[in-house]
Amino acid sequence: MHRRGFLVAGLAAALSGSRALAQMKMDGMSDMDSMPGMGGHAGHDMGAMGQGPAALPEGEALRELPLLANEAGRQGVFKARLAAEAATARFVADQDTPILAYNGMSPGPLIEAYEGDHVEITFANRIAGEPSTIHWHGMPVPADQDGNPMDPVAAGADRVYAFELPEGSAGSYWYHPHPHGRTAEQVYRGLAGAFVVKAKADPVPAEYGDTVLMFTDLRLAADGSMPDSTMADLMNGRVGDHVLVNGQKNPRLAVGTGAKRRLRLYNATNARFLRLAFANTAMTVIGSDGGLLEKPVAADEILLSPAERVELVVAFDRSGTATLTTLDYDRGWMGPGRPAEAGQMLLTVDVSDTPAEAMPPLPERLRQIAPLGAPTVSRRLVFTETMAMNATGMEMGFLINGKTFDMARVDIVAKAGETELWEIVNQADMDHPFHVHGTQFQVIERERGGKASKPAYLAWKDTVNVARGETVRLLIRQERPGPRMYHCHILEHEQLGMMGIVDVQV
Q: Which residues bind Cu ion (CB under 5 A)?
A: 432, 488, 490, 493
Of residues 104 and 332, the one with the C-beta less far from Cu ion: 332
Of residues 184 and 204, the one with the C-beta less far from Cu ion: 184
Measured CA to CA in angstroms, residue 400 lies from 104, 334, 403, 411 at distances of 37, 19, 5, 10
Edge-to-edge strand list for the sheet holding 301-304: 252-257, 345-355, 320-327, 274-278, 301-304
Question: What is the CA 393 to chain-centroid distance, rounded?
Answer: 30
Q: CA 404, CA 401: separation in Å to the nearest integer?
A: 9
The CB-of-474 to Cu ion minimum distance in angstroms stands at 17
Nearest to 241 by CA among 95, 54, 489, 92: 54
Of residues 219 and 432, the one with the C-beta less far from Cu ion: 432
Of residues 199 and 488, the one with the C-beta less far from Cu ion: 488
Residue 370: DSSP 8-state: P
Query: Which residues neighbour 102 within 8 Å (Cβ) at sequence distance 6 or greater?
Result: 82, 83, 84, 108, 109, 191, 193
Query: Which residues neighbour 355 within 8 Å (Cβ) at sequence distance 6 or greater?
Result: 256, 257, 258
The CB-of-383 to Cu ion minimum distance in angstroms stands at 7
Of residues 119 and 488, the one with the C-beta less far from Cu ion: 488
Of residues 103 and 305, the one with the C-beta less far from Cu ion: 305
| Cβ pair 231, 199 in contact under 8 A | no
Q: CA 505, CA 415: separation in Å to the nearest integer?
A: 5
The CB-of-43 to Cu ion minimum distance in angstroms stands at 16
| Cβ pair 404, 4 in contact under 8 A | yes
3-state secondary structure of 152: coil
Nearest to 485 by CA among 271, 75, 178: 178
Of residues 131 and 337, the one with the C-beta less far from Cu ion: 337
Of residues 316 and 434, the one with the C-beta less far from Cu ion: 434
The CB-of-434 to Cu ion minimum distance in angstroms stands at 9
The CB-of-491 to Cu ion minimum distance in angstroms stands at 9
Element (H, E) at 293: strand 291-299
The CB-of-430 to Cu ion minimum distance in angstroms stands at 6
| Cβ pair 119, 146 in contact under 8 A | no
The CB-of-189 to Cu ion minimum distance in angstroms stands at 20
- Positive or negative, the CA dihedral 199, 205, 206, 211 is negative
Of residues 290 and 433, the one with the C-beta less far from Cu ion: 433
Of residues 170 and 488, the one with the C-beta less far from Cu ion: 488
The CB-of-351 to Cu ion minimum distance in angstroms stands at 38
3-state secondary structure of 360: coil
The CB-of-378 to Cu ion minimum distance in angstroms stands at 23
The CB-of-273 to Cu ion minimum distance in angstroms stands at 11
Element (H, E) at 119: strand 118-126
Q: CA 267, CA 125: separation in Å to the nearest integer?
A: 24
The radius of gyration computed from the CA coordinates of the chain, to the nearest angstrom, equals 22
